Chains A and B, each alone.
Chain A
């Protein structure tokens, strides 16, 4: 506990981990580093609240998470990113009676091998970048960062129903994009 209460040791032992955590959610090195700084300062100010019930790292991560949520929320508000719910792309995937227009074909590739292939990574990045911005942010927080739906709703100022719709649309678009540009799949 005494060792844990040394601000510099917090930075040395957990700084890089916190930085990677922030980077995986913000994709911007400077902002990620600033978030780590803010989180460590806030943690140090509130160190009496650390009861040692969880590990120090878990506690620091929970503070960092809040900082990241606040940051994303501010950014979305300031830039008025509200592209998502207006245009409904599902009509391009289904006929009026609800049948597939763009038939999915089963992919048989190995996920790990795909990820290790740099060309696949580029295609994936391109497909993600084609999503409307808010949809992409929500999708990335959920699938790439593994955040709780509740945290994402807070960060992006949406209801859980909105989140489900955005995730649905993102999955539809990504599935179609990846099938078109990478997986050839086989029709059953």
Chain B
């Protein structure tokens, strides 16, 4: 039985979060070779994944810093804990 696009799109998403079984991978491959819509969907969610990875890496290298006030507060809390 040929699986519908709803099932295949689910598997395409799962592939980012778990390892697909051998059978599932074959199923996806065969379906994609015949279905241009799922093929487009696969490309688009790959691109979304790339977009989020890019944002993740640029956001982490941005210069958000702890405020001076918060640093003093943490320093004090650490000092109090050391004194106990």
Contacts and interface: CB of A to CB of B under 8 A. Distances in A.
A168 B10 contact: yes
B59 A164 contact: no
A8 B80 CA distance: 12
Interface of A: 7-8, 11, 15-16, 19-21, 23-24, 33, 36-37, 40-41, 44-45, 90, 93-94, 97-100, 103-107, 109, 111-112, 114-115, 124, 142-146, 149, 160, 163-164, 167-168, 171-172, 174-175, 178-179, 183, 185, 187-188
Of listed B64, B66, B71, B79, residue having the most chain A CB within 10 A: B66
Contacts, number: 141
Interface residues of B, number: 49
28 contacts: A7-B79, A16-B64, A16-B66, A19-B64, A24-B60, A36-B66, A37-B70, A45-B81, A97-B4, A98-B4, A98-B6, A100-B5, A100-B37, A104-B40, A107-B44, A143-B49, A143-B56, A160-B18, A164-B10, A164-B18, A167-B16, A167-B17, A168-B9, A171-B45, A175-B48, A178-B48, A179-B44, A188-B36
Nearest to A178: B48
B16 A106 contact: no
Interface of B: 3-7, 9-10, 13-14, 16-18, 36-41, 43-45, 47-56, 58-60, 62, 64-67, 70-71, 73-75, 77-79, 81-82
Contact of B17 (A99, A103, A104, A142): A142
Nearest to A34: B70
A136 B52 CA distance: 13
A168 B7 CA distance: 10
Contact of B59 (A16, A24, A171): A24
A61 to B, nearest CB: 12
